[in-house]
Structure 1
Amino acid sequence: MGLDGAQGRRVDLMPDPSGSAGRMPTQASSETGVGFPLASWVAESRPVAEAGVYRKGYRSAPSTSEDAAVAPWPLLIRAVLNLLAAGLTYKYGSLLALYAVKLTIWPPHPTDAQIVFGDYLTRGVVAVLVISLFGRMGRWLEVYRRYLTPSALREMGAVLRARAITVEQETQSTVATPVERAPALDPWAQLRQAGLGEALAVVEEDTRAGRVSDVDYVRIHRVWREVLAEPGLVGAFGEQVAVRGAGACAHPSEARDLPVRVAEHDLLVGQVRLGVTQEVPKNPATHRGSGFALDREVLATSLLAVGPAGTGKTSRLARPVAEALCLQALARTACVVVVGAAEAELGPDAGYDVVIAPGDPGSAYGLDLYGASRDTDAAAARLADALLPDELSARAQSARMALQQVIGPFHAGYGRYPGVRELRALLGGDEESWARLVEELRAKEQLALHEPDVQHRRSRHGKVDDPGALLADRLALLDRPALAGCFESGGAGAKPAFAMRALEHPLRVRVKLPERGHPEAARILSRLVVGQFLQAAVAREDRSLFAGLVVDDASSALDAGAVQGLRRLPGANAGAVLLLRSLVDLPEALRVPLFGAVGCRMAFPGIAPWDGKLFSEAWGTVLVRERAVTLAPDTSGGMLRKAGRLARKALSGTTAQTESVTTREVERERWSPSDLAHALPTGHAVVSLTTVGGEQVPPLLVDLRA
């Protein structure tokens, strides 16, 4: 498959020649044993909640008022009793009030209007008094908040529907010959109402058999929304659904699920569940005890996670997020690039469309060093930044210029970008390579335009401060026999090169870095891939897909340009998850800017106190109520009390004291560096979130093992 160009329309509605190639059984559900329970999954309650809350099956946090401590049945019984008492009181109280009014302020000969007005006014006053008295005692407002608000009614209805569907499915699974029944919830109502009822026969059969997965459901509805923008495609969409059923409009790979899932996902709202927010005073009451999840609204502001090796950054954060983005790619809502060492557990290769593994002879794909960029100067500058290590960043500008003076003329002369060996020869001053380049430029009538760059570059060769020699030495790290064919743009042995401009398609890309055999080459590739992603994600014309980047170890992938690129991702419907062992791995000048460039920050147990200091400063302070107790000798009273205290001291050896309690509000750090470094339990993490819309969630203590 061509990876550096378009792969056709994202709305691929052409039926598969095999007809049923896209139909495949999904994993059996542990709930019913008959397949994926689509109807109950769609009907599951997903109330609107704050960022970080796993919405599927979420129940809003109870009120913090005193009424919240009352159990449901006593609350309802008390409310009913007060309602009955209020009715009786109103009935007889109104009669007594009217009788008292007639005896006191009633005129001798009232008119009909006065009688009606006096009756309504008296009854209204009695009603207000009765409701105020018995409503407070019966806690009617709490009953309304719990059970009668629109959201509570919708939630209760969804729960009842889900239970009914589950009972029906369990009944059908235990009966030998199940009776056909109308489903309590139609997952395909939207398509049926659009006039596609006849085309849904195969889909309905797959639904009853449990062959429709969450990926299928989200993918088909996603494509349907795109089809609505082009009504001419409705017929082709209906034909695809009628022929392929649940496999309609499948991902280009024809995959409809991942080989294995390690996390809990809710694709309907794009969330991945990572753990449970702990019920501790430091956590906001709205999040305590709820599932903790990440979604695209949060990931779009990018997430930085810091923690030493062995604390679960990869297994409990990087892999679940990568898995979620891969599932969303299969549902045609996202694309993802996952970068990490070849040994990192970031999911099996079968779960990706493109696996780039330099140094692995079995790797089918290479990497385009230039990202298929149409701007030669930008491609050269990005490659120069990737080649130079941090300690040589002062020479970055001259290195960019040197590469631009080579890559620009080469592209003009040959119509393509140079391979690693060709670029290395030109930067090293190989006269034969330069002579051939000049001849190509002359033949293309481009020599006059590029001659100043050619002459300047050739004149610098051999000088002490020539950046070309430095770049050639750095390129030698990529020009190794073990890496042959991974970075060449053509010729024998060259592998198909993946280019980042393919991010407009729902691709799943895994980059395996050869950290063991070629550590310095791995650092160059890490920086190059991250730089290309940041540029390509922002440059996309079609940003309907969420572009996600997951970097298992970002210590060598970040520079000043990358930090600036992170700031542009939220507006481009893209985001990055960056993992670090320690902030010390980064240049000191990058640490604070990096904290400011990301919206989500995550600290794992065992981080160094100097790392915890940055987290603590970023999370700020909060007002807490502090209670101080002061003890002082008791000197009150007369002679009798003083004599008693002296006798007590003589007998017990203790002095009578008075206790003074002072309460005040003081500012305290949300999480101190010491707490982050020493008090975090194993398997936990502290994470703060920010959404694209600006909603902020203060630091949460999350159990990632739950």
Structure 2
Amino acid sequence: MGLDGTYGQRTGPEPPVSAPPFLPEARDGHPGRSRHRPAQPQGPFDLFGWLAGPRTEGVPGLFGLGHVPRRQEVAADTAAIPGRVLLARAALNLVVAWLAFRYGGPLVFDVLNWVFHLDHLRADGLTSPYVLVQALLQIAMLIVDVWIFGRMGRWPEVWRRYVTPALGRLVTQERPVAGGAAGEGAGGAAHAVDPWAEMRVGGQRTGTERLDEEARRGAVGDVDYVRIRRAWQGVLADPGRLPQFADEVGARGAAACGHPSAERDLVQRYARHDLLARQVRLGSVQDVPKNPATHRGGGFALDPSLLGTSLLAVGPAGTGKTGLLVRPVVEALCLQALANTACVVAVGAADADLGPDALYDVVIAPGDPESAYGLDLYGAAHSSDEAAARLADALLPDELALRAEGARTTVQQVVGPFLAAHDRYPGVQELRDLLLGEPEAWAALRTALSDTGRLEAHRHDLQQRERQHGRADDPGTLLADRLTLLDRPAFAGCFNPSAHELGREKPPFAMRALDHPLRVRVKLPEHSHPEAARMLARLVVGQFVQAAAGRRDRSLFAGLVVDDASAAVDSHTVRGLQRMRGANAGALLALRSLADLPEALRAPLFGAVGCRMAFPGIAPWDGRLFAEAWGTVWVQEKAVTQTPDTSGGLLRRSVRAFRGLLAGAPVQTESVTTRSVERQLWSSSDLAHALPSGHAVVSLTTVDGAQVPPLLVDLRG
């Protein structure tokens, strides 16, 4: 692994800071981009306090930093008792217990005296047998009273609910937030942990001394620590890099082994993070009986072990999907990219709130003349057939998905020969002319193939394509019409150039660069070119799925975040989500409604993702899929039946008749029947109408198969 956190990217000596080849600054030897000033850690950071902070591990979805597990869980029937009723019952049992001790004790002593003649015992002092027997009897009576009336009055529950919190507020102090600014938790924890213990054992005395001095000054941030720690793990895997690592740390200290952009932190953090556990806190788990006891009252968090199974979030516009879920996850992946542990591709409309451009290394905005980067339409493939297949899938609209196989073959019959003839992929205009069967374009292609001596190898593809020209069912005509949406003046230089555009194109970003810890933002022109935006969304998502699953170096977590995935999901994406689980990659897909997807994709998409999230206000037919996926649970159902009381003789019936006359209603008896019934854990009606604003219900699955039942989460806490 290199010092930038990647494997197998170069041969020979490696510079301290490296950048992917498509970045313009990297071609000139400069590490990273020049559009933004590198961000340094915001103020002094208490590294020792952050590392020494309490953490709960092994509970998926629970924010472990600062979480203290509950010592005792309360039964559901006890938790349901109102406080007023609980206190009244406890007070009544206390009064009865005092009366039983006050008047029952002498009575019991008189009975024992009559049976055993205790008055004959000597009673001439405090240690006399008579006094000792009387004291033992009082203690026994006190224990019996407390045991009997304490159980009936639920005194332990009163102590746990009211007395313990009051005592805790009196005798404890507020714990400082771990990882806060300078002065929070500094001092006592300064010598509790050694951040560089492994490096000291490895003999890196000089570098650790400088890191210790910078950590005491608060100049080592959480991103720096995780980044240097990852680089050290790479040294352990390849000891030959030890001298380079030692020189880097000794020369640059906490800035060693930097990200290609040379940035060490974000300008401003939007959410709370724990980079040691790679978690981002999104809210709090509500203390309700439906939630598992292990999560109640704790923080809700996501990390790569959960995102690796992919997350599907469904909710109408305005429910907070972008601000409460999508942007914090994007920020977490960007921080992990700066620590050289992840790469992220965020896809959304140009006006979507996915953070400022300074948050990213590469910003691709087709249709924006100020955009510095373009998009490689074939950038995820290692062969021309793969590239043509992904492009064909993106070009076809949803209603023509049945013609996908013919479209893939058509594009492959054009792209393959063109690549062999010109040693590059065709531009948008060149590909459109070839699909339409323009005579000049085909003549130029045949001449180029003949000049390179490859005409015979591709003769069959050319003949097949020529036979399709002019036919009513020719997929080439349809694909050429779709390509016209990308062959617009607004998109000049944004995609692969044609021959007359070579040298004037923007640096193209290719999904093959997922081997680098990059932060990529794709801004879709949904307002000015909506259909082109849909095509580009399908293309980017399809390329990501293809590139993430085909990486040879899977040490970086590859995260895809799509703010509106209604146009980006197709059958290829659904199949690719399942393959990404084993490739250290995952996706966050946000949808306004499942109705935006073709009906044939809804159930397969639910089965392909491991994490599902429902926001308030979803449609009942959307909630039905969530309810079916989350299953049922056995509950106790009580049925109360009231019938007129006709029991007893003449006197009792007369008294009941008089009571009914006074009450204005006949006297009735109640019979209660309890039975176990199977109910949905969360019904579609609950999800559609009962969720409060700012909340969501989410179920989780980790990459190794651990599952968490649905959690009711307050995303505002």
TM class by smaller structure: 0.7 to 0.9
Q: 1:381 aligns with which of 381, 389, 395?
A: 389
1:539–1:366 Cα change, 3 Å? same
1:26: which partner in 2?
41
> What amino acid maps onto 1:14 in structure 2?
P
> What amino acid maps onto 1:51 in structure 2?
P
Give the distance between the partners of 2:266 and 2:193, measured in 1 at CA. Answer: 27
Partners of 1:202 and 1:243 within 8 A in 2: no
Partners of 1:23 and 1:244 within 8 A in 2: no
Give the distance between the partners of 1:590 and 1:171, measured in 2 at CA. Answer: 51
Per-residue CA shift, 1:37-79, capped at 9, x if unaligned? 110001111122421111111111333367999xxxxxxxxxx
Per-residue CA shift, 1:206-230, capped at 9, x if unaligned? 2122111110010000110011111
> What amino acid maps onto 1:58 in structure 2?
H
Q: 2:309 aligns with which of 289, 298, 301?
A: 301
1:108: which partner in 2?
none
Give the distance between the partners of 1:581 and 1:399, measured in 2 at CA. Answer: 30
Give the distance between the partners of 2:431 and 2:282, measured in 1 at CA. Answer: 45
Partners of 2:38 and 2:262 within 8 A in 1: no
Superposed, 1:348-387 pairs within 5 Å as 348-371=356-379, 373-387=381-395
1:596–1:626 Cα change, 3 Å? same
Shift of 1:306: 0.5
Q: 2:626 aligns with which of 615, 626, 632?
A: 615
Partners of 1:420 and 1:479 within 8 A in 2: yes
Verify: 1:52 aligned to 2:65, yes or no. no
1:200: which partner in 2?
208
Verify: 1:260 aligned to 2:288, yes or no. no
Give the distance between the partners of 1:259 and 1:636, measured in 2 at CA. Answer: 80
Give the distance between the partners of 2:715 and 2:185, measured in 1 at CA. Answer: 37
Give the distance between the partners of 1:294 and 1:9, measured in 2 at CA. Answer: 36
Per-residue CA shift, 1:558-578, capped at 9, x if unaligned? 111111111111111110000
Partners of 1:688 and 1:698 within 8 A in 2: yes
Give the distance between the partners of 2:287 and 2:240, measured in 1 at CA. Answer: 53
> What amino acid maps onto 1:358 in structure 2?
P
Q: What secondary structure, in the 3-state scheme, does the structure 2 residue paired with 1:335 have?
A: strand
1:42: which partner in 2?
51
Q: What secondary structure, in the 3-state scheme, does the structure 1 residue paired with 2:713 have?
A: strand
Q: 2:16 aligns with which of 14, 27, 30?
A: 14
2:73: which partner in 1?
64
Q: 1:233 aligns with which of 225, 241, 251?
A: 241
Give the distance between the partners of 1:40 and 1:433, measured in 2 at CA. Answer: 67
TM-score, length-scaled by structure 2: 0.80
1:573–1:350 Cα change, 3 Å? same
2:557: which partner in 1?
546
Give the distance between the partners of 1:614 and 1:348, measured in 2 at CA. Answer: 35
Aligned identity (percent) is 61
1:559: which partner in 2?
570
Superposed, 1:661-676 pairs within 5 Å as 661-676=672-687
2:94: which partner in 1?
none
Shift of 1:541: 0.4
Q: 2:196 aligns with which of 176, 188, 193?
A: 188
Partners of 1:15 and 1:243 within 8 A in 2: no
Partners of 2:48 and 2:189 within 8 A in 1: no
Give the distance between the partners of 1:409 and 1:43, measured in 2 at CA. Answer: 61
Q: What secondary structure, in the 3-state scheme, does the structure 2 residue paired with 1:470 have?
A: helix
> What amino acid maps onto 1:27 in structure 2?
Q
Partners of 1:11 and 1:227 within 8 A in 2: no
Partners of 1:61 and 1:287 within 8 A in 2: no
2:221: which partner in 1?
213
2:441: which partner in 1?
433
Partners of 1:543 and 1:573 within 8 A in 2: yes
Superposed, 1:471-486 pairs within 5 Å as 471-486=479-494
Superposed, 1:408-419 pairs within 5 Å as 408-419=416-427
Q: What secondary structure, in the 3-state scheme, does the structure 1 residue paired with 2:388 have?
A: helix
Give the distance between the partners of 1:14 and 1:516, measured in 2 at CA. Answer: 43
Shift of 1:200: 2.3
The aligned length equals 607
The RMSD of aligned alpha carbons is: 3.1
1:702: which partner in 2?
713
Partners of 2:16 and 2:258 within 8 A in 1: no
Q: 2:412 aligns with which of 404, 413, 419?
A: 404
Partners of 1:629 and 1:659 within 8 A in 2: yes
Q: What secondary structure, in the 3-state scheme, does the structure 2 residue paired with 1:418 have?
A: coil
Partners of 2:8 and 2:553 within 8 A in 1: no
Q: What secondary structure, in the 3-state scheme, does the structure 1 residue paired with 2:252 have?
A: helix
Structure 1 runs, 4 residues or longer, greater than 6 Å off? 15-19, 21-24, 66-69, 162-169, 179-182
> What amino acid maps onto 2:444 in structure 1?
R
Q: What secondary structure, in the 3-state scheme, does the structure 1 residue paired with 2:202 have?
A: helix
Partners of 1:165 and 1:184 within 8 A in 2: no
Partners of 2:308 and 2:581 within 8 A in 1: yes
Verify: 1:639 aligned to 2:650, yes or no. yes
Per-residue CA shift, 1:169-189, capped at 9, x if unaligned? 74999xxxxx99973322222
Per-residue CA shift, 1:388-409, capped at 9, x if unaligned? 0011112111111111110010
1:181–1:476 Cα change, 3 Å? closer
1:589–1:234 Cα change, 3 Å? same
Per-residue CA shift, 1:657-678, capped at 9, x if unaligned? 2222222221111111111111
Q: What secondary structure, in the 3-state scheme, does the structure 2 residue paired with 1:51 have?
A: coil
- 446-455 vs 523-532, which deviates more? 446-455
Mind listing any 5+ residue stretches in structure 2 that lack a counterpart? 1-6, 19-28, 80-142, 151-155, 157-171
1:168–1:334 Cα change, 3 Å? closer
Verify: 1:285 aligned to 2:285, yes or no. no
> What amino acid maps onto 1:287 in structure 2?
H
1:427–1:393 Cα change, 3 Å? same
Mind listing any 5+ residue stretches in structure 1 that lack a counterpart? 29-34, 70-132, 144-158, 174-178
Shift of 1:202: 2.6
2:700: which partner in 1?
689
1:239–1:541 Cα change, 3 Å? same
Give the distance between the partners of 2:185 and 2:674, measured in 1 at CA. Answer: 63
Q: What secondary structure, in the 3-state scheme, does the structure 2 residue paired with 1:437 have?
A: helix
1:436–1:18 Cα change, 3 Å? closer
Partners of 2:624 and 2:684 within 8 A in 1: yes
Per-residue CA shift, 1:402-443, capped at 9, x if unaligned? 111100100011111101011011111111111111111111
Give the distance between the partners of 1:181 and 1:610, measured in 2 at CA. Answer: 53
> What amino acid maps onto 1:228 in structure 2?
L
Partners of 2:623 and 2:688 within 8 A in 1: yes
Partners of 1:216 and 1:331 within 8 A in 2: yes
TM-score, length-scaled by structure 1: 0.81
2:602: which partner in 1?
591
Partners of 1:342 and 1:357 within 8 A in 2: yes
1:104: which partner in 2?
none
Shift of 1:650: 2.2
Shift of 1:9: 7.7
Give the distance between the partners of 2:318 and 2:578, measured in 1 at CA. Answer: 30
Q: What secondary structure, in the 3-state scheme, does the structure 2 residue paired with 1:569 have?
A: helix
2:612: which partner in 1?
601
